[in-house]
Amino acid sequence: MKTTLLIKNARQVVTSRGTSEKPLSGEGLQELTVIEDGAVAVSGDKITAVGPTAEVLDKAEPDDRTRVVDASGKVVLPGLIDPHTHVVFGGSREHELALKLQGVPYLEILARGGGILNSVEATRAASEEELVRNGIKYCRQMLAQGTTTAEAKSGYGLSTEAEIKTLQAIREVDRAQPIDLVPTFLGAHAVPAEYKNEPDRYLDLVIEEMLPQVVDRKLAYYCDVFCEDGIFSEEQSRRVLAAAKEKGLGLKMHADEIVPLGGAELAAELGAVTADHLLVISDQGIEKMAAAGVIGVILPGTTFYLGEDHYAPARKMIERGVPVALATDFNPGSSPNNNLQLIINLACLYLRMTPPEVINAITINAAHAVGRASEIGSLEEGKKADLVLFDAPNYDYLAYRYGTNLVSSVLKNGELVVEVK
Ligand code: IZC
Ligand code: ZN
């Protein structure tokens, strides 16, 4: 097969291998293949060879039309995957910073009609085009920082019309720029003001009107719910997720973030693909997720930004066999950061994860968390040519430096979409 693009002489090519069947867990989460003086050959949008430069040059069939990228002094990783974002929303919430600084808690800001509900107002007021324009802007920032695939949730519409508008905007953003977006329906993100005292009636609307339209129009792969004190109870969450499961959607959950409500246990019971946040997960929740193979998506950027001193018990989860992935949780309130490189630092420093665990958690395990592990998440023959080159002498360096974008190039579907000169 003709080689259209060849990356050679990388200080390290770093990837997990042979792990597309099941997410990595336990000691397996440490396993990385590191190829010194490595190369990757690409034909069209697929990887055709990965290995030491001398071997790949032997196998590849470059000609004078092959684009050659000299990766001397660089580390090559699979394109980063962000498996939990709220990337399409209207407005922004910098005005809440003052309240935060006065010590008003996140859930209190929401209870006063701000927080998520503030973003709901702005999202409803925005046209679909405006949402698309903003979504493209955020995705371009993410791409420049090494993200090549991201999950994207609705949930700032909270009416049938505005939820459909958001999911259509997500589809349009997916088409309009290089990052692949995997859409999730999060109609049960909060109770909108007009249903303030009738959360169950709002859930009737989510289940009976929104869900069928989302499914009929194929606007989402997953359904998610914010299971939290003062938002949706375990019982209410079960109702939404069971209905979504019956309609064939995969399940995700915002679980056990602030107050423990048994979200992890529910995710295991319903066979969810992921349960996310998990700061206050119970020991029983950990056991159940491990037994059911539910991926724990940890969001340390949110814990950092909410100023909490207690991070998710990542070490315990890993020791007990929960497959772990990491994400930014990019959203206008609790995590206005869309850079997975910062998540590498926070996961090492505050979750006590090792650099190999972190790399697997934002590549192959994140691919499992969005249902795409057979196509992306590792550098292997036949997979999509989604790669990032970092200006770093080794992969530890990515966890060591922070606050500087170390990306030097990004390849998406075999095309160079970012090149830092
Ligand atoms: O807008 O505050 N936690 N949803 C659940 C969020 C945070 C997003 C927000
Ligand atoms: Zn979230």
**Ligand 1: which atom is nearest the Cα of residue 93?**
1
With contact defined as beta carbons under 8 Å apart, do 37 and 10 qualify?
Answer: yes
- What are the distances in angstroms from CA 278 to CA 158, 328, 383, 404? 24, 14, 31, 28
Look at residue 358 in the predicted model and tell me its pLDDT: 98
Please tell me the distance between residue 380's alpha carbon and the centre of ligand 1 in angstroms. Answer: 35
With contact defined as beta carbons under 8 Å apart, do 342 and 301 qualify?
Answer: yes
As a residue count, the chain comes to 421
Look at residue 421 in the predicted model and tell me its pLDDT: 85
Q: What is the DSSP letter of 401?
A: S
The response to whether residue 116 sits with its C-beta less than 6 Å from ligand 1 reads yes
Mean of all residue pLDDT scores within the chain: 97
Contacts of 355 (CB under 8 A, 6+ apart): 344, 348, 395, 396, 398, 399
d(CA 375, CA 154): 24
The response to whether residue 123 sits with its C-beta less than 6 Å from ligand 1 reads no
pLDDT over threshold 90, residue 17: no
The ligand minimizing its distance to the Cα of 299 is 2
The ligand minimizing its distance to the Cα of 331 is 1
User: H/E element holding 97?
Assistant: helix 96-101
Q: What is the DSSP letter of 306?
A: T
Write out the E strands in 46-140.
46-52, 67-70, 75-78, 80-82
Look at residue 67 in the predicted model and tell me its pLDDT: 96
Q: For residue range 179-233, what is the model confidence (pLDDT) as tens digits? A: 999 999 999 999 999 999 999 999 999 999 999 999 999 999 999 999 999 999 9
With contact defined as beta carbons under 8 Å apart, do 169 and 153 qualify?
Answer: no
With contact defined as beta carbons under 8 Å apart, do 135 and 173 qualify?
Answer: yes
Please tell me the distance between residue 86's alpha carbon and the centre of ligand 2 in angstroms. Answer: 6
Average pLDDT over residues 237-246: 98
Q: Which of 335, 337, 338 to mutate to test the pocket of ligand 1 (most atoms within 8 A of CB)?
A: 335
**Among candidates 398, 420, 400, 421, which has minimal Cα distance to 76?**
398
**Ligand 1: which atom is nearest the Cα of residue 333?**
2
Q: For residue range 358-417, what is the model confidence (pLDDT) as tens digits? A: 999 999 999 999 999 999 999 999 999 999 999 999 999 999 999 999 999 999 999 999
pLDDT band at 276 (very low <50, low <70, confident <90, very high): very high
Residue matched to tokens 């209870």: 111
7 backbone dihedrals φ, ψ, rounded to 5°: -105, 125
List residues bridging with 226 in a β-sheet: 254
d(CA 305, CA 76): 29
Three-class SS of 163-194:
HHHHHHHHHHHHHHCCCEEEEEEEEECCCCHH
Please tell me the distance between residue 59's alpha carbon and the centre of ligand 2 in angstroms. Answer: 44
Average pLDDT over residues 308-318: 96
Average pLDDT over residues 127-146: 98
pLDDT over threshold 90, residue 320: yes
Contacts of 22 (CB under 8 A, 6+ apart): 293, 323, 368
List residues bridging with 303 in a β-sheet: none
**Ligand 1: which atom is nearest the Cα of residue 156?**
1
User: Cα Rg for the chain, rounded, in angstroms?
Assistant: 21
The response to whether residue 115 sits with its C-beta less than 6 Å from ligand 1 reads yes
Share of the chain above pLDDT 70, in %: 100
Q: Which of 92, 95, 116 to mutate to test the pocket of ligand 1 (most atoms within 8 A of CB)?
A: 116
Q: Which of 96, 184, 189, 225 to mutate to test the pocket of ligand 1 (most atoms within 8 A of CB)?
A: 189
Q: What is the pTM of this model?
A: 0.98
The ligand minimizing its distance to the Cα of 305 is 1
**Ligand 1: which atom is nearest the Cα of residue 116?**
1
**Among candidates 148, 159, 169, 175, which has minimal Cα distance to 219?**
169
- Residue whose CA lies nearest to ligand 1 atom number 9: 333
Contacts of 102 (CB under 8 A, 6+ apart): none
Q: For residue range 60-90, what is the model confidence (pLDDT) as tens digits? A: 988 999 999 999 999 999 999 999 999 999 9
Comparing 92-101, 153-162, 315-324, 404-413, the range with the smallest average pLDDT is 92-101
The ligand minimizing its distance to the Cα of 327 is 2
d(CA 388, CA 138): 18
Look at residue 18 in the predicted model and tell me its pLDDT: 66
Q: Which of 328, 331, 337 to mutate to test the pocket of ligand 1 (most atoms within 8 A of CB)?
A: 331
Average pLDDT over residues 47-58: 97
Please tell me the distance between residue 334's alpha carbon and the centre of ligand 1 in angstroms. Answer: 6
Q: Identify the burial level of 404 via C-beta atoms within 10 angstroms of its C-beta, where 0-12 means exposed, 13-18 middle and 19 or more buried.
A: exposed
Q: What share of the chain is helix, strand, coil (3-state, %, to 5)?
A: 40, 25, 40
The response to whether residue 155 sits with its C-beta less than 6 Å from ligand 1 reads no
Please tell me the distance between residue 324's alpha carbon and the centre of ligand 1 in angstroms. Answer: 21
> Strand, coil or helix: what is 420?
coil
**Ligand 1: which atom is nearest the Cα of residue 106?**
2
d(CA 115, CA 191): 12
Average pLDDT over residues 320-324: 98
